[in-house]
C-alpha cells in the first residue's frame, strides 16, 4: 500500500512533498560546492509481543544514498541539477504480521526480500523559485520534508500510516513530471505521472500503459500565536481502470472476473495540517507541534475509501537533539472490495497507535525505540503489539 524538510534535517530531494513548505533555492557558486552527497543507514529489530503473530525477533536494514549534482559540475549553470538516489534493503521485518498496513515503511520499499533500486531525476529551477522535476522519484524522499511529522521511515514514525500516508493512487515510486510554483501566499504543485509503482523498474518498460495520474495541491503557510503552520489541500486521480495490484498482498487482489476494479478513473481529496505549538529560540529549527489529515476517495478501483490520522511530534526542550512522536490512525478499505473478498478473508477498518522516542547519540547517530498497537483490518486477528528498535547512522 503506498502514498506522499523536517526541522531536524531530514533528507531533501529535488522535488517537494505536496504538503511541504517552500524550500529556498540556493544554487552553488562553485563546482566543488555543487556536488552534495548524503547516506542514511538504518538497522531495525522488530518483535511482535502481543496478538496472533509469531513472537520472533526480526532484523533488517536499509541504506539510502542521496547525491545531488549541480549544473556547474556538468558544465552548465546551476539552475539545473541531477538527483541520484540508490537504495538497498535487506533482512526481515514484522510487516504484515499484525496489521495490513506495513509497520516498517523502510523495510516495505522498494520490494520484498533483499532488493536494490535506483531513482534518477533532473530539476530545472527558475529565479522565481518555480521548479520542474522530471524522471523517477522516490516519494519517501518527499515525505521526509513534511514539517512536524517528517521522517519518511529513517527518522520519525515507522508505520506507513504516518511515514508515507497511503492514497492507493500515488505509488511509493513514480515516473513523471513535477511542477512546483511558490508564491508569497501559497505553494502550488501539479504532478503528472504513471499510476503504476516504479519500484525496481527503470520507468521506461511500459510507460503509462495503465493510464495517466495527476496530483495538484495548494499549501498555505500561516502563523497562529506567532507559531508557523502549514495547511494543504491535495487532489489526486488517474484514468486507471483496475486495482493497483502491485501495492497489495495477493490475498487482497480480487479474482479475475469479479465485480471490483473495472470502473475507469479514480479520484481522491486530502486535507492536511501541520502546526507548531512550541518553537525554541535558543535552538533554531527545533520545536514541537500537532499534525493530521483526512483522506476521501470515490472508491472502485481505488482500494482505500477513507482514512485519517492525528498526532504530536517534535523535539523535547530539555534535549533538542532528541525527537518524539505519538499518533493515532484509522484506514478503511473500499466497501465494494470488502464485499468481493468476504468469502476469502473477513475485513474491517484498521486502526492503531504508534509512539516513538529518538535519542540523539551524536550529530550523525540516532537510536529510536518504537511501539505500535494495531487492531488489524483482518477481522480474525487479535489486536497486536509490535516493539522495535532503529539505529540510524548518517554519513
Structural contact between residues 380 and 348, judged by C-beta atoms closer than 8 angstroms? no
Fill in the DSSP letter of residue 382: P
The domain in which residue 247 lies consists of 31-394
- Is 225 within the bounds of a domain? yes
H/E stretch holding 339: helix 335-340
Question: What's residue 20's pLDDT?
Answer: 58
CA 350/CA 142 separation, integer angstroms? 25
- Is 5 within the bounds of a domain? no
Q: How many angstroms separate the Cα of 42 from the Cα of each of 89, 90, 284, 391?
A: 10, 11, 26, 5
- Angle at Cα 199 formed by Cα 386 and Cα 271, nearest 5°? 65
- Is 18 within the bounds of a domain? no
Residue 36 phi/psi, 5-degree rounding, is: -125, 140
List, in order, residues 6 or more apart from 13 with CB less than 8 Å away.
66, 83, 85, 121, 137, 138, 141, 142, 145
Question: HSE (CB half, 13 Å, CA atoms) of 271?
Answer: 2
Question: What's residue 206's pLDDT?
Answer: 87
H/E stretch holding 337: helix 335-340
Cell of 159: 508505520
Q: What is the CA radius of gyration of the chain?
A: 20
CA 265/CA 261 separation, integer angstroms? 10
Instruction: Work out how many domains the chain is built from and give that number.
Output: 1
Q: State pTM to two decimals.
A: 0.90
* pLDDT tens by residue, the chain, 395 residues: 545 422 233 323 333 455 655 443 333 333 445 899 999 999 999 999 999 999 999 999 999 999 999 999 998 999 999 999 999 999 999 999 999 999 999 999 999 899 999 999 999 999 999 999 999 999 999 888 889 998 789 999 999 999 999 888 999 999 999 999 999 999 999 999 999 999 999 888 888 998 999 999 999 999 999 999 999 999 999 999 888 888 888 888 888 888 888 888 999 999 999 999 999 999 998 999 999 999 999 999 999 999 999 999 999 999 999 999 999 999 999 999 999 999 899 999 999 999 999 999 999 999 999 999 999 999 999 999 999 999 999 99
- Is 311 within the bounds of a domain? yes
Residue in the block written with cell 496472533? 52
- Is 317 within the bounds of a domain? yes
- Is 9 within the bounds of a domain? no
Question: HSE (CB half, 13 Å, CA atoms) of 49?
Answer: 11
Residue 148, by phi and psi: left (phi above 0), alpha (psi -120 to 50) or beta?
left
CA 129/CA 64 separation, integer angstroms? 27
Peptide bond into 110 cis (omega under 30): yes
- Is 285 within the bounds of a domain? yes
* Strand residues in the chain grouped as ranges (E): 35-50, 58-70, 80-91, 115-125, 131-138, 173-182, 187-193, 213-224, 227-238, 266-279, 287-297, 304-314, 323-333, 350-362, 365-375, 384-394
Cell of 154: 529513517
Comparing CA positions, the residue from 233, 128, 216, 141 lying closest to residue 178 is 216
CA 217/CA 213 separation, integer angstroms? 14
Write the CATH number for 317: 2.40.160.180
- Is 75 within the bounds of a domain? yes
Amino acid at each position: 500500500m503506498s502514498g506522499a524538510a523536517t526541522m531536524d534535517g531530514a533528507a531533501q530531494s529535488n522535488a517537494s512533498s505536496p504538503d511541504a513548505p517552500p524550500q529556498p533555492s540556493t544554487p552553488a557558486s562553485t563546482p566543488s560546492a555543487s556536488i552534495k552527497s548524503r547516506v542514511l543507514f538504518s538497522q531495525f529489530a522488530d518483535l511482535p509481543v502481543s496478538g496472533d503473530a509469531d513472537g520472533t525477533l526480526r532484523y533488517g536494514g536499509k541504506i539510502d544514498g542521496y547525491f545531488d549534482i549541480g549544473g556547474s559540475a556538468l558544465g552548465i549553470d546551476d539552475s539545473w541539477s541531477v538527483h541520484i538516489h540508490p537504495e538497498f534493503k535487506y533482512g526481515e521485518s514484522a510487516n504484515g504480521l499484525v496489521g495490513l498496513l506495513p509497520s516498517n515503511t523502510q523495510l516495505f520499499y522498494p520490494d520484498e526480500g533483499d532488493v536494490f533500486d535506483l531513482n534518477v531525476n533532473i530539476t530545472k529551477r527558475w529565479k522565481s523559485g518555480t521548479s520542474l522535476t522530471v524522471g523517477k522519484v522516490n516519494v519517501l524522499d518527499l515525505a521526509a520534508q513534511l514539517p512536524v511529522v517528517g521522517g519518511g521511515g529513517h527518522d520519525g514514525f515507522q508505520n506507513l500510516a504516518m511515514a508515507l500516508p497511503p492514497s492507493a493512487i500515488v505509488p511509493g515510486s513514480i515516473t513523471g513530471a513535477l511542477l512546483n510554483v511558490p508564491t508569497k501566499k501559497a505553494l502550488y504543485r501539479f504532478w503528472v505521472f504513471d499510476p503504476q509503482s516504479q519500484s525496481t523498474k527503470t520507468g521506461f518498460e511500459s510507460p503509462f500503459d495503465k493510464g495517466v495520474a495527476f496530483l495538484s495541491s495548494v499549501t498555505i503557510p500561516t502563523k497562529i500565536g506567532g507559531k508557523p503552520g502549514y495547511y494543504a489541500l491535495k487532489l489526486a486521480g488517474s484514468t486507471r481502470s483496475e486495482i493497483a495490484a502491485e501495492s497489495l498482498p495477493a490475498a487482497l487482489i480480487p479474482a479475475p472476473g469479479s465485480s471490483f476494479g473495472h470502473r475507469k478513473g479514480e479520484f481522491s481529496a486530502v486535507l492536511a495540517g501541520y502546526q507548531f505549538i512550541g518553537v525554541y529560540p535558543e535552538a533554531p529549527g527545533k520545536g514541537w507541534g500537532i499534525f493530521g489529515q483526512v483522506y476521501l476517495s470515490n472508491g472502485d478501483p481505488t482500494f482505500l475509501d477513507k482514512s485519517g490520522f492525528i498526532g504530536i511530534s517534535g523535539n523535547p526542550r530539555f534535549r533538542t537533539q532528541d525527537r518524539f512522536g505519538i499518533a493515532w490512525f484509522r484506514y478503511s478499505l473500499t466497501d465494494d472490495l470488502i464485499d468481493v473478498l468476504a468469502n476469502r478473508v473477513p475485513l474491517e477498518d484498521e486502526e492503531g497507535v504508534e509512539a516513538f522516542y529518538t535519542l540523539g547519540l551524536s550529530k550523525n547517530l540516532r537510536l529510536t525505540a518504537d511501539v505500535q498497537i494495531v487492531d488489524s483490518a483482518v477481522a480474525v486477528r487479535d489486536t497486536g503489539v509490535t516493539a522495535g528498535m532503529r539505529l540510524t547512522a548518517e554519513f
